[in-house]
């Protein structure tokens, strides 16, 4: 398991998903909090390249020894890449959720949707409110 961290350059969705934006594309994954809550991830059910994902809706599943969890898209767009490494080694989500454990890359349909996401400070405050 990795140490708890929330990189400052990412944007965060309330369902514990993150987006790393690069121009009109974004990489999506799940946060440290999400992988910690799930426990050991044993299976990843991704969308296909070319599929469309919708902000706030499920685009796949992560299965752990404890539960199955929907993965929620932080923004809408077309899937341009799926991380096959996670399909082969789902535990990457636990060991490196912001690096090798990324899930999909998306061509953003509307980059302004990212304005609704939280920055690191807001996400940490949100998490503090969950445990209060």
Place of tokens 């953003």: 108
Q: Phi/psi zone of residue 126: left (φ > 0), alpha (ψ -120 to 50 degrees), beta?
A: alpha
Q: Is residue 113 part of a domain?
A: no
CATH code assigned at 67: 2.40.50.100
**Which residue range forms the structural domain that includes residue 75?**
11-108
pLDDT band at 2 (very low <50, low <70, confident <90, very high): low
Q: Is residue 89 part of a domain?
A: yes
**Residue 1 pLDDT:** 54
Task: Specify the number of domains making up the chain.
Answer: 1
Q: Is residue 17 part of a domain?
A: yes
Residues 6+ away with beta carbon under 8 Å from 131: none
pLDDT tens for each residue of 54-109:
999 999 999 999 899 999 999 999 999 999 999 999 999 999 999 999 999 999 99
pLDDT band at 3 (very low <50, low <70, confident <90, very high): confident
């Amino acid at each position: 398991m990795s140490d708890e961290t929330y990189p400052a350059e990412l944007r965060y969705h309330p369902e514990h998903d993150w987006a790393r934006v690069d121009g009109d594309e974004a990489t999506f994954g799940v946060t440290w909090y999400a992988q910690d809550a799930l426990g050991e991830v044993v299976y990843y059910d991704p969308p296909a390249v070319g599929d469309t994902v919708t902000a706030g809706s499920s685009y796949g599943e992560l299965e752990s020894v404890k539960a199955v969890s929907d993965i929620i898209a932080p923004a809408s767009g077309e899937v341009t890449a799926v991380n096959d490494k996670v399909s082969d080694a789902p535990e990457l989500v636990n060991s490196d959720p912001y690096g090798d454990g990324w899930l999909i890359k998306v061509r953003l349909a509307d980059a302004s949707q990212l304005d609704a996401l939280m920055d690191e400070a807001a996400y940490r405050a949100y998490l503090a409110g969950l445990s209060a």
